[in-house]
Amino acid sequence: MYDIQLFGRLEVRTRGVRLTGRDFGGVKPRHILALLALRGDLHKAELAELLWGGRPPANHQATVESYVSLLRHRLDPDGPARDSVITTRNGGYSLVAEQVRVDVARFDELVAAASGRTAHRALRPLTAAAHVAARPLLEDVEQHDWADQAREQYRTRLVATLLDAGGHALTAGDPRGALALTDRAVGLDPVAERGWAIAMAAHRLLGDRVAALRAYDRCRRELADGLGVEPSGPTRALFLELLREDGGGTPLEQAVTAILAADGESQRAESAAGLLRRAAELAA
């Protein structure tokens, strides 16, 4: 069995041996392995287009064949080519499904397993998927269109997974877990408004009004800087609810002072607090 890791650096573990970096026989064989693990069946011409960025050499078929031969030997030095985990089929190559476990496939399976489940039942596979994708995809692969596209695809999927998991954690009564998940989501995508809204709600459940208001302020600034828009109606509504709250919580002026002081803007705290207090009075 070959365990192929694409999240983080490209790595293969088999029979107690770990292969990384130069162990695959060079850059091109390493890229071929990554492409087959990501995309499945690939014709030799497709591989050549991807490997050379749309400008393959004239003798690309023979060159690809030589790289695959080298890669087969590096993956199984003592095995015959006919028994290789890389099989030749219809003028191309693929990995023998029964002999490989690929972490991106595991990520996809876990996300799919959460679909249609209740919050409590979906949370576990989504959290497991987020753990599988703990590191960026193909960390040690240079910038190539195919690698960049795959990285962006899985970054987007990971953000969605983290947001779904964060929302489910909140529903399941775990605001701290929700914060851990959404903090990671907005770290990957600062304009993911849903992440900020979940964070606001989680801080609110924990009784930390200052942190909830700070999350809204950060959301507002990220959306303005990144997209040139304001937070949506539901997020603003949650913000106004926070402004109206006073019993047992941090007074509004103190909350705003704490937020601005954390951003190094304590000189604006008094006037901003007054403005927000008046906004809360108008919204009441």
Consecutive H or E run containing 2: strand 2-5
Task: Give the span between the Cα atoms of 278 and 66, in whole angstroms.
Answer: 73
Domain boundary (101, 125, 150) is at: 101
Domain boundary (101, 131, 155) is at: 101
Domain boundary (51, 71, 101) is at: 101
pLDDT at 282: 45
* 66 in any annotated domain: yes
Domain range for 40 is 2-101
* 181 in any annotated domain: no
* 166 in any annotated domain: no
* 213 in any annotated domain: yes
* 277 in any annotated domain: yes
pLDDT at 265: 47
Considering the entire predicted model, what is its pTM?
A: 0.86
**For residues 170 and 204, is the Cβ–Cβ distance under 8 A?**
no
pLDDT at 39: 94
pLDDT at 82: 79
pLDDT at 270: 43
CATH code of residue 42: 1.10.10.10
* 13 in any annotated domain: yes
Amino acid at site 83: D
* 70 in any annotated domain: yes
* 131 in any annotated domain: no
pLDDT at 275: 46
pLDDT at 268: 46
How many structural domains does the chain have?
2
Please list the pLDDT of the chain residue by residue as tens digits (284 residues): 999 999 999 999 998 999 999 999 999 999 999 999 999 899 999 999 999 998 888 899 999 999 999 999 999 988 887 789 999 988 899 999 999 999 999 999 999 999 999 989 999 999 999 999 999 999 999 889 999 999 999 999 999 999 999 999 999 999 999 999 999 999 999 999 999 999 999 999 999 988 999 999 999 999 999 999 999 999 999 998 888 876 444 555 555 555 555 545 444 444 455 545 545 554 44
